[in-house]
A and B are shown apart, each in its own frame.
Chain A
């Protein structure tokens, strides 16, 4: 089971992405849960997640988050992938980062 924390600016668009990633994972038979949270409240949700995925609108937070949670890998979704809602690319990247 993979737990993904998807963090953005409390936006609605992230909810779209959250759903798409979950669908893509289901299609590929991967057991994965996406937990969405606002980046300003990440500390309340971070526990038990395997990876932190950031939307491109909060990419500037990545350095700080990497420093605060050194044990959890952080991955920032590319702008084009987010804009076009390409959940397949995002899932590929999540799996790639986790396999490292």
Chain B
């Protein structure tokens, strides 16, 4: 059965994953999202410290904590504006950073001059994503709402620029004496006019024919698709695909990129709601990075922490050795030693738990948050923050740690039968058990 499954996957899915893992746009988006993490973090922290974790109104009047929280609250009301502004210009303007970062990585891939490419793309981003109001600029589409249109603007702009530059369109010949930096900016002068003209035209048509703005229109078109993926179903489906890809040894990040903008904008909405005073169990979204990286991938992709514990306690010398190398990184959600050491990658015996455990974790954690057993996420310290601390920080809720321990127990049960099968194979190889073990005992 395992062999048939392997053959089927190799024939149907491997070619798709190979293309996805190599695709320049997906690779660049992946790099871009990685660079956005500090920006997101700063924005979230700024908002978290301007709101006391417990509302003083729920505390006993006159008690120490009442005074402390009330003081915090008053301080924030009077002097919290810079913190709220910091949030608005970081997490709340995430599309701005995305346009810069994504265009930087994509233009490097095409060996274009990076800084001029970023300038041109950023200007195009502003052309499409802002309106002039009251003599200033509107930042309505700078946040999560503008992310998808940002991705489209960056791809179209850089592709156009690449095409124009590579075909020498509008290349201006300058004398040898002109310094190279100046030369580079002149090379893109004419192409940039074409690109700005193109976006101006798009904005004009959208406004005058459809009576709306480009980012809003793109969101309307994508709405049904987003609604399907912005759900438990979409997250689990992506998780399954990501795990199958990783089983082939293709890093799952290239699949999770699909969910990136959804995770990011949900998270931003939750942080904003928390900052505005919504209780942590009443926040609007569950689907987010913390759901997947905090509770799904316990010990790394495939929820392998339970498996790592089984390895450490294995009777097989080889598996024990892998367990010893892999167990400590597992507590930081890094599991490559186990993935490639056991190995799990391309190992038919371990395919099922590798795909299943993570999907089960995500579903259980989603359920626990949906019925308010655990707070919904509004902070994200990053997936390699040591476990337990990480789970606590996601929603400042100690019950998250209990959920985490419960999920490890569930994973242990899911992994166990497959681990046993695999261990038996290894023990045979090591000559510790032989096939006719029982007969020899009796004899």
Contacts and interface: CB of A to CB of B under 8 A. Distances in A.
B384 A12 contact: yes
Contacts of B336: 11, 13-14, 55, 57, 82-83
Interface residues of B, number: 35
A89 to B, nearest CB: 13
B31 A38 contact: yes
A40 B28 contact: yes
Interface of B is mostly: helix
Given A12-B384, A84-B321, A57 B337 contact: no
A13 B329 contact: yes
A44 interface: yes
Contact of A85 (B22, B334, B337, B345): B337
A9 B301 CA distance: 13
Nearest to B17: A60
A13 B251 contact: no
A80 B135 CA distance: 63
A95 B111 CA distance: 31
> By CB atoms of chain A within 10 A, which of B18, B250, B340, B342 has the most?
B340
A46 B118 CA distance: 22
Given A13-B337, A83-B342, A56 B111 contact: no
A66 interface: no
Contacts of B111: 43
Interface string B364-393: 000000000000000000001000000000
A57 B31 contact: no
B383 to A, nearest CB: 10
A57 B343 contact: no
Interface string B341-352: 111011000000
B21 interface: yes
Nearest to B253: A9
A60 B248 CA distance: 10
Contacts of B326: 83
Interface of A: 9-14, 16, 38-41, 43-44, 55-61, 64, 79-80, 82-85
Given A12-B334, A56-B340, A57-B249, 7 more contacts: A56-B249, A57-B250, A57-B339, A79-B346, A80-B341, A82-B337, A83-B326
